């Protein structure tokens, strides 16, 4: 019979061993992604397959994500900046280069999108595509027709950038994205100027245009419009493609008499790419690789696309997409639509300062 001391020692040893093994087993990945950008079932499947728990946080502007990344120690293992922002974050040393040997599912990716990413992340050395899309106009069909007639320019930037139209829409609510990197290029494009212009006078012209319609903008916000459009609280939003499609689906499902539609303005609009990357100081690097590799399997990313209505950069997933989604040229653009789309490179530091100052003026109206 062991002494009481010996028994106590055994008990302590057993408890310690148990605690240590459960600690060792608890694998976690901290993911920071855009809002309205995943089907939760995908995260559950990932945990079921790998045993890794996902701590999932969301943001709705690149600026918010960038602030966290540049101050360091964000605690995130996987983040999803747009390519334009990723490019300068790579320069700032924010990410670790990807070890492709740990990402065999990269073979499923779509060369067409990888090529488009070359200017931002040469050789796709630091990132893999999550999803991509366009920035366009979401609108309430009935309310806009009521105010601007059957001929309402719903597929033209003049709907939101011509003060005469905006004056008539103001009472039913218009939201603009709180994103200078989206709104200034759109305004420049409408003015017939280069959307990527870094010319101070031209950027000033774009800001002046935005200021001219600002009195009729209810809010600058980059995600509230999804619900607001769906329940009829607003009638127009400059928004991201899939987000507006989610409004369309939500209104449809609610059967609330609201009909929402999405348009890519005839003048053209921005095509953007959101990229998964691993911060240099990520606490759970192996788990981050497993997450990226899982998201590059055809099934999870197809499930996500079918749920959020954004196109993805995974070629193998296309056979698993809903027919009406892959055949919709405003989601997977056809040649004619593609010809109207432009991409944007990051601003240099000096231009970024000008843009930040102009945006401050646009949003505060001062
Ligand atoms: C998802 C928005 C992602 C688009 N809600 C921004 N690039």
Q: Is 82 in the pocket of ligand 1 (CB under 6 A)?
A: yes
Cα end-to-end span (Å), the chain: 84
- Edge to edge, the sheet with strand 78-79 lists 52-59, 27-34, 78-79
Pocket test residue of 34, 81, 230 for ligand 1, highest count of atoms within 8 A of CB:
34
Confidence at residue 24, expressed as pLDDT on a 0 to 100 scale: 59
pLDDT band, very low/low/confident/very high, at 366 (cuts 50, 70, 90): confident
**34 CA from centroid of ligand 1 (Å):** 6
**189 CA from centroid of ligand 1 (Å):** 20
**271 CA from centroid of ligand 1 (Å):** 11
Can you tell me the distance from the alpha carbon of 358 to that of 208, in angstroms, rounded to the nearest whole number?
A: 9
- Kindly report, residue by residue over 321-355, the tens digit of the pLDDT: 999 999 999 999 999 999 999 999 999 999 999 99
Give the pLDDT mean for 185-192. Answer: 98
**1 CA from centroid of ligand 1 (Å):** 67
Give the pLDDT mean for 158-163. Answer: 98
Can you tell me the distance from the alpha carbon of 296 to that of 263, in angstroms, rounded to the nearest whole number?
A: 29
Q: Is 243 in the pocket of ligand 1 (CB under 6 A)?
A: yes
Can you tell me the distance from the alpha carbon of 265 to that of 275, in angstroms, rounded to the nearest whole number?
A: 25
Give the pLDDT mean for 19-43. Answer: 86
Is the confidence at residue 20, as pLDDT, over 90?
no
Confidence at residue 6, expressed as pLDDT on a 0 to 100 scale: 52
Q: What predicted TM-score, i.e. pTM, was given to this entire model?
A: 0.93
Is the confidence at residue 94, as pLDDT, over 60?
yes
Give the pLDDT mean for 275-288. Answer: 98
Q: Is 64 in the pocket of ligand 1 (CB under 6 A)?
A: no
The overall average pLDDT reported for the chain is 94
**248 CA from centroid of ligand 1 (Å):** 16
Give the pLDDT mean for 124-130. Answer: 98
Is the confidence at residue 8, as pLDDT, over 80?
no
Written as one string, the DSSP assignment of 173-209 is -EEE-S-HHHHHHHHHHHTTS-TT---HHHHHHHHHH
């Amino acid at each position: 019979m062991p002494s009481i001391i010996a028994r106590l020692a055994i008990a302590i040893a057993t408890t310690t061993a148990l605690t240590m093994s459960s600690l060792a087993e608890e694998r976690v990945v901290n993911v920071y992604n855009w809002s309205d950008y995943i089907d939760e079932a995908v995260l559950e499947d990932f945990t079921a397959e790998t045993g890794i728990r996902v701590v999932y946080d969301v943001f709705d502007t690149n600026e918010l994500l960038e602030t966290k990344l540049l101050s360091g120690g964000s605690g995130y293992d996987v983040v999803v900046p747009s390519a334009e922002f990723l490019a300068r974050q790579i320069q700032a040393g924010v990410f670790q280069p990807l070890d492709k040997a740990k990402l065999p599912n990269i073979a499923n990716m779509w060369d067409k999108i990888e090529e488009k990413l070359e200017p931002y992340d040469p050789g796709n050395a630091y990132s893999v595509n999550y999803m991509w899309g366009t920035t366009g106009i979401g609108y309430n069909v009935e309310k806009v027709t009521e105010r601007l007639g059957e001929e309402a320019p719903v597929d033209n930037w003049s709907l939101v950038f011509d003060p005469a139209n905006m004056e008539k829409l103001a009472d039913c609510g218009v939201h603009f994205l709180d994103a200078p990197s989206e709104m200034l290029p759109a305004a420049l494009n409408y003015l017939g100027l280069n959307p990527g212009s870094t010319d101070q006078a031209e950027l000033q012209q774009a800001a002046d245009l935005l200021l001219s319609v600002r009195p009729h903008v209810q809010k600058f916000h980059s995600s509230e419009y999804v619900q607001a459009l769906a329940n009829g609280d607003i009638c127009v939003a400059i928004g991201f493609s899939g987000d507006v499609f989610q409004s369309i689906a939500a209104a449809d499902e609610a059967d609330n008499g609201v009909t929402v539609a999405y348009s890519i303005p005839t003048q053209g609009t921005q095509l953007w790419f959101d990229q998964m990357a691993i911060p240099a100081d990520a606490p759970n690097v192996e788990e981050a690789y497993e997450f990226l590799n899982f998201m590059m399997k055809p099934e999870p990313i197809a499930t996500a696309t079918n749920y959020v209505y954004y196109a993805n950069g995974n070629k193998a997933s296309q056979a698993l997409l809903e027919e009406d989604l892959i055949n919709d040229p405003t989601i997977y653009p056809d040649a004619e639509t593609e010809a109207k789309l432009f991409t944007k490179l990051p601003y240099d530091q000096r231009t970024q300062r000008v843009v930040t100052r102009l945006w401050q003026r646009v949003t505060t109206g001062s």
